Structure 1
Amino acid sequence: MKCFTLGYGGRKPEELLALLQSAGIRTVVDIRSAPQRSYLGVFSRQKSPQSGIEGLLGRAGIAYLALPELANEFREHDDWRERYARFLGRRGKKLVKPLLEVAEPIALLCAEKCFSECHREQLAAYLQRQFSGVEVEHL
C-alpha cells in the first residue's frame, strides 16, 4: 500500500489538488474529528457530496472517505502522541480496515500542515508496523 499524508492548513484548494494529482492519489481519507467544520468552507464536508471537500476532490476524479473515528481526540493534552499511540494499540486494527478496501494510493488528510505536529505521522507509522509493504510519504 502506498500511503501519503497531507495537511491542508495554509494551502489554497488548487495547491492541495496539485499535490494530490502529482502523487497520483486515488482516495483521500479524511481523519479529522469534525470534517464538517473548517475555517475554509471548501475544506469542510458538506451535506451535499457535490460541495465542500468531497465536491472539490470528486471534480478532480479523487474519491473521498471520512473516517473521524481515526481522529486525534487527545490533541488538547501535552502527551497526545502517547495517548494516540495507546488508542491505536487498543483499537487500531479494527479502525484501519476501511483503509485496506479503498483505491490506492491513499492520502491521509488533516488540517495541520506539518506532519510532525499531527496524528497523521503516528497513524502512518502504525500502518507500517502492522502491514507489510506499506510505503509512507508526507506531502
Structure 2
Amino acid sequence: MRGAQGMHSDANEEPGVQRVVYTIGHGEAEQEEILARLVDAGVRTLVDIRERAAGKKGFNKTELEAACRAAGIDYVQVRDLGAPLAVRRGHDPEADWAGFQDAYATHLKEQKEAFRTLKETVLAGPAALFCRCAHPARCERGVLATLFARAGYGVRHLDTA
C-alpha cells in the first residue's frame, strides 16, 4: 500500500522507548473476551476505527463505550479512518486485497485530521485500534498497523480467533 500522509517516524520520542500500537477485532468474540484482552495487555484507550460503530450485540458505540468505561478503558471513535462503504463494496478485501488497499489508501490521504487524532491517542499511552474483523491481515486496522510499523512503532495484534 502506498503510504498515507501524516505518519512519520517519531515513535521513539523518549530515548530507548519504542511506542507500541495494539490492534483487535471482535470477529465472533463476545464483548467480555475483547475487554479482557485489552485489560491484560494494559491498553488504556480503545480507538474504534469502524465507519459505522454498529452491528453485533455488545459492540455498538453506546454499549462498547459504556463497557470500556466500566473496565477503566477510554473509548474514542475515529470513524474517518474506517473503510467507507464505497471502498468495501467496490473491493472485497478477501477477493481483491490489492484493489482494497489502493482504494483505502486513496481514502486515507484525505484524512489528515483523523490521523492526527489517532497519532495523539497512540502517543498518549497504550491504545488499540478496533474494528469488526477477527484478523488484521485483510482489514483496515492491519493497513493502519503497517503504517505505524513503517513509522517505527511496535505493533501487537490481540487476535481473538
TM-score (norm 1): 0.85
Identify the match of residue 38 of structure 2 among 20, 42, 48.
Answer: 20
In the other structure, the counterpart of 2:102 is 82
In the alignment, structure 2 segments of 5+ residues that lack a partner are 1-18, 92-98
Deviation at 1:76, TM superposition (A): 1.5
Deviation at 1:93, TM superposition (A): 4.1
How many residues in Structure 1 have an aligned counterpart in Structure 2? 129
In the other structure, the counterpart of 1:3 is 21
Identify the match of residue 67 of structure 1 among 78, 84, 89.
Answer: 78
1:80 match: secondary structure: helix
Distance 2:48 2:128 in 1: 8
Deviation at 1:92, TM superposition (A): 4.6
Indicate yes or no: 2:54 matched with 1:43: no
Identify the match of residue 96 of structure 1 among 115, 126, 142.
Answer: 115
TM-score (norm 2): 0.74
Root-mean-square deviation over aligned CA pairs: 1.5
Distance 2:41 2:112 in 1: 26
**Residue type matched to 1:109 in 2?**
F
Deviation at 1:98, TM superposition (A): 1.0
In the other structure, the counterpart of 1:49 is none
**Residue type matched to 1:87 in 2?**
H
In the other structure, the counterpart of 1:31 is 49
Q: Percent identity?
A: 34
**Residue type matched to 1:70 in 2?**
L
2:128 match: secondary structure: strand
Indicate yes or no: 2:75 matched with 1:54: no
Deviation at 1:87, TM superposition (A): 2.5
In the alignment, structure 1 segments of 5+ residues that lack a partner are 47-51
**Residue type matched to 1:113 in 2?**
A
Distance 2:46 2:77 in 1: 8
Indicate yes or no: 2:134 matched with 1:121: no
Q: Which moved more, 1:21-30 or 1:92-101?
A: 92-101
Distance 1:83 1:62 in 2: 32
Whichever of the two has the greater Rg, that structure is: 2
